[in-house]
Structure 1
Amino acid sequence: MRKKGSIYIIIVLVTLALLMLFQYSKPKQINWFPSFVSQHKIPYGTFVLNELMGKKYKEHLKQVTRPPYEVLQTNDYFQGTYFFVNDRISFGEAELKSLLDWTSKGNTLFIASGSFDTELKDTLNFETSGLYADFGEDQKQVHKLLNPAFTNDSLPTFDKDNFALYFSEIDTVNAKVIAQVEYDSEADSLKQGHFNVIKQDFGQGKIILSAFPKAFTNYFILKNNNKDYTAGLLSYIDGNRPIYMDNHYKSGKSFYTSPMYIFLNTKEFKWAYYIVLIGVLFYVVFEGKRKQRAIPVVVPLKNQTLAFTRTIADMYFEKDEQKSITEHKIAYFMEYIRSHFYMDTTKQDDAFFHNLAARSNHSEEEVKKLFSFMEKLKIRAVITNADLKKLNTLIEKFKLKADGK
């Protein structure tokens, strides 16, 4: 029986080892999460963008990690271009107002996002809609810069989305179209007017809106000659003034505080962690039963105070020391009055009896009767069992009535 159990254990271990080997040798899956974080080198990170801009603009490029509202309220020398790029950007009402006020003073606001606030749409008089690829067909998005200064010999393409956001309505008086998007089945005509990048003057400054934020990601820039398209969009930024790259509105995290992220994101650490968990499981299953012992029941010590009191009382009673018992009984009763009713028992006059009666739910006659009986017992030389029992009965009835029973 023991031999057969060992065979089963070996089979399980070999199976687990093979599964772990296959899993370990499997190619690492690409992370397509749209993080837009400047430190991320995944396809939808913006590491390449920040590297290229850092080389081109050098000391003018600055990274901002705080919220825009806080930056604009605390920095009077904040001038230049404020650059936002993320899959979704949603400003607060006060924050958007601060950004627009700042832009109107001669600055540039560049927002590349897959959605725009309603308040921003109302302010700049534009609306957005979705452009979808034909159902069941694998089509590519074709992007084009509309400025004649840019050559479009090989149009940049994007094949990872079947949906493209564009500006369906714009302020034709103030807005200028920079780029448009079509699917490759319609790219020959390019007359549909699906504009996805616009520029609009605002006060003394300008606002540039791009509905295609993935144009600034690692995947798009490094694919074919798409970098020329991204460079064309960035050419609308004044490179002689500071350029502030926002790192607050990002879908991903620039750094991870959890230690488990290091283990689960590194293949070697992840499988070392899994092996430890499996080892602990085997130890619990096969070793826990052998090492486990019954926990002895510890009986708590009994309270012997009542038994001790009864023993002492029996000793007094058997020796016919009713006088001593009576004195102790009266003394304990006086202590009861002091501790329960907070009264001084040294002076037992009419005022004392009146207060005790009021506090103990008795009449003055009942209180005086009890104390009168106790005074008689104090001066007696011999006390009978009947007297002792009567005293005990009167005291117990007093306590019961005082406690409301």
Structure 2
Amino acid sequence: MNRGTVIAIVVGVTIATGFVIWMVRNFNSHNYFWYETYRPSSDQPYGLSYTVDLLEHFQDEKPEWIRKDLITALEQTQAPNYLFIGEKPLYTDEMADALIAYISKGNHAMIAANEFPVTLMGKLFNDGTEAGNVLPPFNEADGFQDTNAGTAILNSYHDKYFDLYFRYPGLPKDRFRFSYRVRDQKESHSWRYFQTDTGGLQVAAHDDRHYPSMLDLTIGNGHLYLFCNPVLLTNIYAVDSNKIPFFNIMFSHLEQGGTLLDEYSKIPPSQQAGDPEFNSPLRFILSQPSLRSAWYMLLAGAFLFVLFRGRREQQVIPLAEPNVNRSLEFAMTVGRMHYLRGDHLHLVQQQMRLWRSFVKDKYQLVAGEDQELFISKLSMKSQVPESAIRDILDTYKSFKDRLSLKEKEMTDFYTKTRTFYKSCQ
């Protein structure tokens, strides 16, 4: 085993061991996926199924789901509340206008997101609309970016713990402490806060650094609540009995009478329009934790296969020269030897064997005791006259007791068999 092979084996074993350890650490923790999915049907730590159950219990009725066309749902619903919990609501300009109109009628909306879209924030902060007139100007130096990808008015810091305080009159200023967990470990997390000047705005909640975490915006006759740490509303905290008062206060911002839960705005606008690029199989695979892991395992296996099996396992084998058929040359050489020796009888015997073999292979006939029957059948199949076949057999029979033959006798016998070969069908 040479040095290159040893190095390749060591590298391969190291990669495989590291990959196995990674798989065990990430996928053997009670089958939990520690990702912030914000899916209302997910019972994983950072899903929303238990949160939805708490909301239903708080309002004594099931929420209405918005999975198709947010604008139509807001225009037709009788529910006085709208709720979005997710990474970022992907509002178009028309969707933002419909939401502002819905709130202005006296309804309540709560958006809990890590980012707020410019399509909405640009309309709220003094863009010339009626809704914008009730909000203070937004300073671009505070982080406003006119881009669909940028966050609107947020900043963040990292810490293992997050303390939240509500600032409503009449509410006790109790501290709600949260920690971000991955499996059994508390890990540092990016906690967000509103960094804009909040003069004239109602701060509904702040952290222990007095950074605003939740804003209460009055729009027309309704209220819009912006909460910038949606992870606090996921299952891992909803199942904690110590956090039930926190959820009661959060849901108390919503009125009785039903709530619209928005899932439609989590879908990119291009996918809402049916863009096939965003419906590709690979995008779906990478969006699912289990399928994404299987995809990466497949790529790792292919890499290891190329690394070990793609190398040559032996030296290059030189091309062998093709075999040459020399049977005809051999036959000619043997025949010439017999001819030069004058062994004409032996050549006649060889000719007769070849003739009988030809008849047997082509017509399935073998000469037996009944020579006349054999001649009749062979003549019928080969279309050769019986006299020519009988001549061959009789001539050969006359040579049976001979010890030698003359050259002319051998040549005549050869002529008769050759005539048979040429005329047979």
Deviation at 1:24, TM superposition (A): 0.7
Residue in structure 1 matching 2:25, options 27, 37, 56: 27
Please name the residue that 1:286 is paired with: 312
With normalisation by structure 1, the TM-score equals 0.52
Please name the residue that 1:118 is paired with: 122
Residue in structure 2 matching 1:142, options 139, 142, 163: 163
Alpha-carbon distance in 2 for matches of 1:50, 1:233: 13
* Structure 2 residue matching 1:85: 3-state secondary structure: strand
Closer/same/farther in 2, CA of residues 94 and 23 from structure 1, 3 Å limit: closer
Alpha-carbon distance in 1 for matches of 2:227, 2:289: 37
Alpha-carbon distance in 1 for matches of 2:135, 2:39: 30
Residue in structure 1 matching 2:177, options 123, 133, 156: 156
Unpaired segments of 5 or more residues in structure 2?
127-131, 143-152, 180-187, 272-278, 321-425
Q: Which one has the largest radius of gyration?
A: 2
Retained in 2: the 8 A contact 1:37–1:250?
Answer: no
Retained in 2: the 8 A contact 1:166–1:196?
Answer: no
Deviates more, 1:54-63 or 1:114-123: 54-63
Does residue 247 in structure 1 map to residue 263 in structure 2? yes
Deviation at 1:144, TM superposition (A): 0.6
Please name the residue that 2:194 is paired with: 165
Deviation at 1:235, TM superposition (A): 1.4
Summarize the alignment of residues 354-369 of structure 1 with structure 2, pairs less than 5 Å apart.
none
One-letter amino acid of the structure 1 residue matched with residue 101 of structure 2: D
Deviation at 1:250, TM superposition (A): 3.1
Unpaired segments of 5 or more residues in structure 1?
184-191, 295-405
One-letter amino acid of the structure 2 residue matched with residue 110 of structure 1: M
Alpha-carbon distance in 1 for matches of 2:207, 2:193: 8
One-letter amino acid of the structure 2 residue matched with residue 71 of structure 1: A
* Structure 2 residue matching 1:169: 3-state secondary structure: coil
Does residue 69 in structure 1 map to residue 85 in structure 2? no
Residue in structure 2 matching 1:37, options 36, 39, 42: 39
Retained in 1: the 8 A contact 2:63–2:260?
Answer: yes
Closer/same/farther in 2, CA of residues 277 and 139 from structure 1, 3 Å limit: closer
Please name the residue that 1:103 is paired with: 103
Aligned length: 271
Does residue 196 in structure 1 map to residue 213 in structure 2? yes
Alpha-carbon distance in 2 for matches of 1:250, 1:32: 20
Deviation at 1:65, TM superposition (A): 2.2
Please name the residue that 1:216 is paired with: 233
Alpha-carbon distance in 1 for matches of 2:52, 2:41: 9
RMSD: 4.5
Alpha-carbon distance in 1 for matches of 2:225, 2:299: 48
Alpha-carbon distance in 2 for matches of 1:293, 1:178: 83
Please name the residue that 2:326 is paired with: none
Alpha-carbon distance in 2 for matches of 1:292, 1:69: 74
Summarize the alignment of residues 261-340 of structure 1 with structure 2, pairs less than 5 Å apart.
261=286, 265=291, 270-271=296-297, 274-279=300-305, 282-286=308-312
Alpha-carbon distance in 2 for matches of 1:256, 1:55: 38
Alpha-carbon distance in 1 for matches of 2:260, 2:55: 11
* Structure 2 residue matching 1:209: 3-state secondary structure: strand
Alpha-carbon distance in 2 for matches of 1:120, 1:176: 14
* Structure 2 residue matching 1:286: 3-state secondary structure: coil
Alpha-carbon distance in 2 for matches of 1:182, 1:165: 14
Deviations 1:323-346 (CA, angstroms, capped at 9, x unpaired): xxxxxxxxxxxxxxxxxxxxxxxx
Deviation at 1:232, TM superposition (A): 0.9
Deviations 1:172-208 (CA, angstroms, capped at 9, x unpaired): xxx654322232xxxxxxxx5x443233444443322
Closer/same/farther in 2, CA of residues 31 and 170 from structure 1, 3 Å limit: farther
Deviations 1:344-363 (CA, angstroms, capped at 9, x unpaired): xxxxxxxxxxxxxxxxxxxx
With normalisation by structure 2, the TM-score equals 0.50
Retained in 2: the 8 A contact 1:87–1:114?
Answer: yes
* Structure 1 residue matching 2:55: 3-state secondary structure: helix
* Structure 1 residue matching 2:106: 3-state secondary structure: coil
Deviation at 1:111, TM superposition (A): 1.8
* Structure 1 residue matching 2:85: 3-state secondary structure: strand
Closer/same/farther in 2, CA of residues 278 and 152 from structure 1, 3 Å limit: same
Retained in 1: the 8 A contact 2:159–2:190?
Answer: no
